[in-house]
Chains A and B, each alone.
Chain A
Amino acid sequence: MPPIVSIVDVVKEYRLGKVVVPALQGVSLEVHPGEFISVAGPSGSGKTTLLNLIGCVDTATRGQVSVGGNDTGKLSERQLTSLRLDTIGFIFQSFNLVSVLTVYQNVELPLLLARRLDSAERRGRVNGLLEQVGIASHERHRPSELSGGQRQRVAVARALVTEPKLVLADEPTANLDSATGQNIIDLMKEMNRRKGTTFIFSTHDPKVMEHANAVIRLSDGRIAGRDLPRGPAEARA
């Protein structure tokens, strides 16, 4: 099966005035469909930059990034936006829900942007997802009326509503207490198993990493290693 994400010799540099700051220095990586991968590393190691490039919200300085078989360097801004809409779901560290919309409306929003389903289909899909993430009873609430964990559940539902092949989660548990964080990772894992959606999430929480099929370790903008995590039983021991 071809990889869903393929990164070859990618360099990303930021310019701060006259100083060039390297964020990624020759990263190569392949992610296959159905994987549940964690990107780990200390702050500043390039985790977010890597996710930005995979998520097509940023472009590489050099090298090639392919998502779902599309070379992102060759796509227009409009095509990149369409690729994000159709292929990628996002879960953010700060949840990033639209504060003026209800839970239901937040989850429905990507479907409205995609314009593929009629309103009955949309309703069915959104309700199903809200059930699955266990937030159905809160569908009329606004984000400000929810706890952090509930908000991130809404974000998970929003990321999955278009049935993307790939979900990117940037430190999804960073703003949650450990029990809630655990719940969210369980939820993501559940979705990964049930729908076969590929998940790539960054974290520096060892407990969160335990759930991954593989952990990609970043250090100073380079891949320091790709290894299997210790199993949860092992970690608990």
Chain B
Amino acid sequence: MISAFVVLVRIALRNLFASAINLVIGAIILFGTALVVVGGALLDSVDRAMSSSVIGSVAGHLQVYSAASRDELALYGDFGGEADLSPIQDFPKVKRALLSIEGVRKVVPMGINAALVASGNTVDLVLAELRELSNRKAKKETGLEGELEAQKQHVRQIIRVLRGDLEKSLAVMDKSAIEPEDLAALEQVSKDEFWAGFDRDPFGALEFLENRVAPQVSDADLLYLRYVGTDLGEFLRSFDRIRIVDGGPVPDGKRGFLFAKFFYEEGLKLKTARRLDKIHEALAQSGKKIAGDPVLERYVRENQSQTRDIVLQLGPEKTRLAIERLQRALLSKEQELSALLSSLFATDDSNFQERYRIFYEQVAPLLSLYRVRVGDTLTIKAFTRSGNVRSVNVKVYGTFAMEGLDKSPLAAAANLMDLMTFRDLYGFPSAETAEEISAMKAAAGAKEVDRSRAEEELFGGALVTQGSPVAIEESAVLGVRPRSRAEQLEDRVYTAEEIESGVVLNAAVLLDDAGRVPGVLRRIEELSGRERLGLKAVSWQKASGILGQMATAMKAALFFSAGIVFVIAMVIINNAMMMATLQRTQTIGTLRAIGAQRPFVLSMVLVETLVLGFLFGGGGALLGSLVMLLLGARGIPAFDDATYFFFSGPRLFPTLEVAQIAFALGIVTLVSIVSTLIPAVVATRVSPVVAMQAEE
């Protein structure tokens, strides 16, 4: 038996090198196998890299959400906004049930939503500070004069800049293109009399400035803020890929907000500084040059022309300091700050590092580089699930990064907030908020009105009281109550029970072992059915939404192209073997005549292709392994945001596993056999009579 097989292999090997077409087939098999090995290993490595990042940063191994949801959960967002999920009403019960499943380590409650946040323009920010000071003065606080004066000077500086802008506009534009009211307002607030009267009626003056002057500066940004509401303490303990970068974690049980470092840098940093960072990064990490790079050149141009952000931020004293420092650093006699800044930012490959250093050492300390600083209170306005607008104040404790995903806009754009704030924003207020609302209703005399009696209730009673205008006492409106309410919320420490016993939208489930995902998914479904939890459980891939599916799509694309290669290989192998069979009918006939049964002939043809497959497939696997070894040692750089996400970092160091080689060889074997079946069957049909026909 073995000897017969040896003969078959021997015949196969000899035939292999007898025909040139075999080498062509071999080359195709070699290429196809190498493709499967390299592609498969790469995608598996991407899968592993991505999975550890995604699992360890936000998704967990599994996610559960309400089966009644209209949309499917998409942790990284979906086309057309956030998924519409029904809330999980009784989270403690769900958590208890999930933790009872073997292999489940942690269950972290979550909710994801997004809001637009107006960052306010520079003038607004300066005026807000002035208002704050005026408020404190109105409350008889003393010793504020110096600060107040400096702030007023800052506002006057801004007004001077705006007037300068307007004059420049008038020089090039028709006067009718400029709003006369804007001009009049600017002229009014430029006058010394306006500022002499400021102390008499600070809130009147502020109102004028806020309504008539601030809107003339159009540098306010609307930021799209995506946030994950969660039990922050539990979250940070559960997800090992998250680390705090600036500030610190939100203390356990407190309300608070953590910015994703990426979002913080991209969305909230002074644009000029951000562009400098980006140029710096491109030069240092990617080895790029400014000259010839359209993006970097644009950054330089924008920095030169957009200096107003900085100019408006600086009060007179800081402006003087900045001018002095820049004159010294740039050896310039220029008196105007914006001109000095323009020449500072006129960078090229030779002077960039020096200018970058000057900016951060000399100018940046005078500026606030971020629109929102750690420790500030952030106001977020969001649509609730029912479509009303709600707004909450929440303190920013710091920033965090997701290891591996920290530069991916796809993944790192989600910020973190506590679950109580999330519920308030999402329209599921906590018990205390509900209580507060009913107290407010009672205080305002609001009562539930039956729809059918609404008209009578509202208008049927006594005549509406004639109103008369009265001056509103600003300090009273801005007074003690709302601030103390915000402070109360800020200081309040919630128990774990309070945090969990409320609405959550989804929950991350972390397991002991990633291999248990399918089993636990099944168990959750069983349990949900039995205990009527109404849960839907999905793997982290599925929960990653489009991104998870992109990985699958990439795999599909690879297998599709490998499939095409192998289909071509099949057609060619089939043809070649058919030709070879027809050329060898005499030999086959002889074998049949001297007593070879049909299976022997069948094996002969199959073994021939299998030997071909193994030789060249093995060669392809070897080639693929070498490529992977090389890639594994050098790493593959991420070239855009998407690859950064898939690689889970700036570089992917792919690995190769024996299973992948075995898989590739398995495919080659299958392709070889399938493509040789027809010629092999044809060969068995060769009659032994053929042997008797003389071959001249």
Q: Do A and B come from one complex?
A: yes
Interface residue ranges, A against B (CB under 8 Å):
48, 51-52, 55, 57-58, 77-78, 81-82, 84-86, 89-90, 92-94, 96, 98-101, 105, 108-110, 112-115, 119, 122, 158, 162, 170-171, 174
Across the interface, B595 reaches (CB within 8 A) one of A52, A77, A82, A108, namely A82
Judge whether B688 and A84 touch: CB under 8 Å.
Answer: yes
Chain A residues closer than 8 Å to B590, beta-carbon distance: 90, 92, 96, 98
- CB proximity of A200 to chain B, nearest CB, Å: 13
Give Cα A51–Cα B598 distance, bound, in whole angstroms.
Answer: 22
Q: Known contacts A84-B688, A100-B10, A174-B694; decide if A57 and B595 are in contact (CB<8 Å).
A: no
Chain B interface, >50% SS class: helix
Judge whether A98 and B593 touch: CB under 8 Å.
Answer: no
Chain A residues closer than 8 Å to B14, beta-carbon distance: 100-101
B594 at the interface (CB under 8 A from A): yes
6 closest A-B pairs (Cβ-Cβ)? A85-B595, A100-B14, A57-B688, A96-B590, A94-B695, A93-B694
Judge whether B595 and A112 touch: CB under 8 Å.
Answer: no
Across the interface, A110 reaches (CB within 8 A) one of B586, B595, B694, namely B595
Bitwise interface map of B from 8 to 33 toward A, beta carbon under 8 Å scored 1, else 0: 00110011001000000000000000
Q: Known contacts A98-B591, A99-B587; decide if A105 and B10 are in contact (CB<8 Å).
A: yes
Would you list which residues of chain B between 596 and 654 have a CB under 8 Å from chain A?
596-598, 600
Across the interface, A84 reaches (CB within 8 A) one of B595, B600, B687, namely B595
Judge whether A57 and B10 touch: CB under 8 Å.
Answer: no
B689 at the interface (CB under 8 A from A): yes
Judge whether A115 and B1 touch: CB under 8 Å.
Answer: yes
Give Cα A110–Cα B695 distance, bound, in whole angstroms.
Answer: 22
B440 at the interface (CB under 8 A from A): no
Give Cα A84–Cα B597 distance, bound, in whole angstroms.
Answer: 10
B592 at the interface (CB under 8 A from A): yes
- CB proximity of A165 to chain B, nearest CB, Å: 14
Give Cα A84–Cα B687 distance, bound, in whole angstroms.
Answer: 13
B372 at the interface (CB under 8 A from A): no
- CB proximity of A212 to chain B, nearest CB, Å: 20
Chain A residues closer than 8 Å to B586, beta-carbon distance: 94, 96
Interface residue ranges, B against A (CB under 8 Å):
1, 3-4, 7, 10-11, 14-15, 18, 586-587, 590-598, 600, 687-689, 691-692, 694-696
Q: Known contacts A100-B18, A113-B4; decide if A58 and B689 are in contact (CB<8 Å).
A: yes
Chain A residues closer than 8 Å to B598, beta-carbon distance: 77-78, 81
- CB proximity of B591 to chain A, nearest CB, Å: 7
Across the interface, B689 reaches (CB within 8 A) one of A52, A77, A109, namely A52
Chain A residues closer than 8 Å to B696, beta-carbon distance: 94
Chain B residues closer than 8 Å to A92, beta-carbon distance: 590, 691-692, 694
Give Cα A48–Cα B690 distance, bound, in whole angstroms.
Answer: 12
Judge whether B7 and A105 touch: CB under 8 Å.
Answer: yes
Chain A residues closer than 8 Å to B15, beta-carbon distance: 100
- CB proximity of B12 to chain A, nearest CB, Å: 9
Chain B residues closer than 8 Å to A94, beta-carbon distance: 586, 694-696
Give Cα A110–Cα B696 distance, bound, in whole angstroms.
Answer: 25
Q: Known contacts A105-B7, A174-B694; decide if A81 and B689 are in contact (CB<8 Å).
A: no
- CB proximity of A149 to chain B, nearest CB, Å: 17
Chain A residues closer than 8 Å to B587, beta-carbon distance: 96, 98-99
Judge whether B692 and A101 touch: CB under 8 Å.
Answer: no
Chain B residues closer than 8 Å to A170, beta-carbon distance: 692, 694
Given contacts A84-B594, A110-B594, list 19 more A-B pairs with CB under 8 A.
A48-B692, A57-B593, A58-B687, A78-B598, A84-B688, A85-B594, A90-B590, A96-B590, A96-B691, A100-B11, A100-B15, A101-B7, A109-B7, A109-B594, A112-B7, A113-B597, A113-B600, A158-B594, A174-B694
Chain B residues closer than 8 Å to A115, beta-carbon distance: 1, 4
List 14 contacting pairs A-B, 8 Å CB cutoff, sorted by A.
A58-B687, A58-B689, A81-B597, A84-B593, A84-B688, A85-B596, A100-B10, A100-B14, A100-B15, A101-B11, A112-B7, A113-B594, A113-B597, A158-B594
